[in-house]
């Protein structure tokens, strides 16, 4: 099941782009997955849910946008900045 390795790489991308002390504040990880990307989206969703609720993350949730094509990319990382205006 290569979806777990993809999920692990997504977490690695988040770890490389968010300061370590902020990783627990990641609340969403957005992905774009194409219908020809060779990914079982339900399995990827499950793997991400497991990894993103484990340290160093706390309660982040994956948000997967399905599109046409062979695209597979992280589209955004949402971090809670503790501001009430969000």
Fold of 2-79: hypothetical protein PF0899 fold (3.30.2320)
Start-to-end Cα distance in the chain: 37
Query: Can you tell me the mean pLDDT for 12-19?
Result: 96
Q: Write the burial class of residue 42 (CB in 10 Å: 0-12 exposed, 13-18 middle, 19+ buried).
A: exposed
**pLDDT for 82 beyond 80:** no
List the one residue out of 19, 23, 10, 1 whose CA is nearest residue 72: 10
pLDDT score, position 1: 58
Ranges of H-type helices in the chain: 2-17, 41-52
Q: Write the burial class of residue 14 (CB in 10 Å: 0-12 exposed, 13-18 middle, 19+ buried).
A: buried
33-68 pLDDT, tens digit per residue, is 999 999 999 999 999 999 999 999 998 999 999 999
pTM of the full structure: 0.90
Residue 85: pLDDT band by 50, 70, 90 thresholds? Answer: low
């Amino acid at each position: 099941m290569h979806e777990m390795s993809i999920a692990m790489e997504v977490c690695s991308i988040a770890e490389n782009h968010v300061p370590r002390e902020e990783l627990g504040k990641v609340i969403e990880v957005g992905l774009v997955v194409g219908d020809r990307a060779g990914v079982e989206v339900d399995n990827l969703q499950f793997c991400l849910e497991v990894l993103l609720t484990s340290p160093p993350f706390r309660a982040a949730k994956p948000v997967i946008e399905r599109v046409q094509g062979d695209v597979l990319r992280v589209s955004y990382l949402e971090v809670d900045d503790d501001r009430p205006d969000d």
